[in-house]
């Protein structure tokens, strides 16, 4: 009976928990966006991202904690350095805002169970949704860094697909650590791994074929970019309209890969090439909205 009343109390709090989950996701996204600014600047420059103080790009003064509050510091300082008065590029705030918006859409599209983790903590099935969500948002954070570096220097680094594959692997492994799942645990896990490679393989192979067909150059940097980008649609809880509309995983993978390959190869080496990462991420976010509306 005690468990019954606890569940009833939790269900009555569902709406407030969902709102809390969405708000906290946005705050988390904005904070992560601030860190992404460091990643985007330092990786192409060959600098470490975990060491060294943030500083004004004009006067070189080390910035204090009060100067580094995402969005708010830029607004309160009216877009100028506290120490030398030089303008601070609005780009930093735009990336923080875009990351917050991305996390907002991911939170809205998340399964309702994800928002209930603070209350249901300890139930493995619900924790799975939370871990799955965290892996997806961190993958998107890596993607945002990658798209902006591509915008700046037209390069992609091998670390991005490695990090994103690690997040994807965690999202697949975690639910099978639950000892209550005993039937066909290994087979299901291997099938999910194989499905991920189907999504990635379809996108990359078709992109290479279309690029060569259009007589364009395909580099190792392109491969890193496509490997990282094509992992995202494999998060099936977010990137399929419904069970009925999903169809066999092979068809989903080929169709997704075909759309990605066409978009990527058509934009390649054109004047819009530097925007290709931004365009693809925007398409992913639109798909998230369609997914939620179609539920």
Report the alpha-carbon distance of residue 61 to residue 103 in Å, rounded. 32
More confident residue, 205 or 90: 205
Q: What is the domain partition of the chain in residue ranges?
A: 155-295
Residue closest to 151 by CA, chosen among 54, 40, 262: 40
What is the rounded average pLDDT of the residues 208-234? 92
For residues 240 and 290, the answer to whether their CB atoms sit within 8 Å is no
* Helix %, strand %, coil % of the chain (to 5): 75, 0, 25
CA distances from 141 to 39, 68, 169, 192, 281 (A): 10, 19, 16, 23, 11
pLDDT at 148: 96
pLDDT of res. 94: 92
142-197, pLDDT tens digit by residue? 999 999 999 999 999 999 999 999 999 998 887 666 555 555 667 777 878 888 89
Is residue 90 packed enough to be buried (19+ CB in 10 Å), middle (13-18) or exposed (0-12)? exposed
Rounded to two decimals, the pTM is 0.86
φ, ψ of residue 182 in degrees (nearest 5):
-115, -30
Place of tokens 């998340």: 110
| Percent with pLDDT over 70 in the chain | 80
Contacts of residue 124, defined as CB under 8 A and 6 or more positions apart, other chains included, come to 175, 177, 178, 180
């Amino acid at each position: 009976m005690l468990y019954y009343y606890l569940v009833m109390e939790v269900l009555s709090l569902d709406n407030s928990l969902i709102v809390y989950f969405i708000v906290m996701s946005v705050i988390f996204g904005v904070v992560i966006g601030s860190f992404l600014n460091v990643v985007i600047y330092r990786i192409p420059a060959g600098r470490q991202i975990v060491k060294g103080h943030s500083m004004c790009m004009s006067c070189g003064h080390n910035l204090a904690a009060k100067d580094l509050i995402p969005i708010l510091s830029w607004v309160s300082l009216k877009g100028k350095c506290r120490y030398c008065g030089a303008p601070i590029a609005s780009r930093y705030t735009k990336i923080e805002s875009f990351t917050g918006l991305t996390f907002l859409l991911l939170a809205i599209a998340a399964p309702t169970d994800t928002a209930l983790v603070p209350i249901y903590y300890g139930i493995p099935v619900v924790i799975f949704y939370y871990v799955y969500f965290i892996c997806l948002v961190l993958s998107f954070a890596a993607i945002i860094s990658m798209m902006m570096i591509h915008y700046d220097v037209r390069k992609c680094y091998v670390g991005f697909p490695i990090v994103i594959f690690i997040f994807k692997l965690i999202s697949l492994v975690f639910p099978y650590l639950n000892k209550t799942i005993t039937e066909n645990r290994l087979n299901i896990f291997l099938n999910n791994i194989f499905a991920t490679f189907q999504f990635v393989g379809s996108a990359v192979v078709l992109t290479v074929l279309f690029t060569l067909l259009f007589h364009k150059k395909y580099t190792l940097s392109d491969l890193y970019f496509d490997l990282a980008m094509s992992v995202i649609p494999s998060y099936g809880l977010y990137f399929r309209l419904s069970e009925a509309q999903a169809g066999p995983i092979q068809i989903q993978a080929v169709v997704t890969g075909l759309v990605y390959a066409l978009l990527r190869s058509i934009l390649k080496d054109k004047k819009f090439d530097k925007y290709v990462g931004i365009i693809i991420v925007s398409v992913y976010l639109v798909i998230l909205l369609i997914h939620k509306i179609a539920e």
